[in-house]
Amino acid sequence: MSQTDMPPRTSQAVSGGAWTGWLQFGAIMLAVVGVVNVVQGLAALLQDDYFLVRNGDQLLITDFTVWGWILLIWGLAQIGASFGIYTGKSWGRVGAIIIVGVSILIQTAFLSAYPVWSAIIIALDVVVIYALTARWDEGQTGL
C-alpha cells in the first residue's frame, strides 16, 4: 500500500495511538499492584507468621495488624485510582502518581519483612509512574 492509498490520519486515529496503550497499561498495572497490596494486607491481618521478620513482630514502625490495615486500605486506593485512569477522569493520573509514589515508600518500609516481593512491587510502581508521566500531553487526549 503506497502513501497515497493510505487513509488520512484523523484525530480519532491519533488519540488511539501507542501512548493510550501505555496509559491503559499503567492503569492495569496499578490495579494489579493494588490487588497484591490487598492480598499482602489480608495475609498480615490473618496470619502474623506468614511474613518472616528477624526482629520479632515489629515491622519498622508498627506490628502486623496495623501494617495489614495500611496495606489493605492502600491497595484499595490504588485500585480506585486505576479505575480513575482507565475511565479517563482528570483526577485519575495525578492521584495515581501520588498514590504510586507513596506506595514506593510503603514498600520500602516493608522490605525487612518480605524483601523480594517488595522489590518487585517497587519496580512495578516505577513502571506505572513512567507510563503515567512520559509524554503527558499525548496521554491527555488519548483516553
Its pTM stands at: 0.71
pLDDT digits over 28-68, tens only?
A: 988 988 998 899 889 888 886 666 555 555 545 567 788 78
Q: How far from 24 is each of 8, 18, 43, 50, 112, CA to CA, in Å?
A: 25, 10, 29, 33, 32
Q: Which one has a higher pLDDT value, 121 or 60?
A: 121
Q: What is the pLDDT of residue 38?
A: 93
pLDDT at residue 117, rounded to an integer: 81
Cell numbers found for residue 1: 500500500
Q: How far apart are CA 53 and CA 103, in angstroms?
A: 20
Q: Which residue has the higher pLDDT, 110 or 58?
A: 110
Alpha carbon distance 22, 33 (integer Å): 16
Q: What is the mean pLDDT of the chain?
A: 76
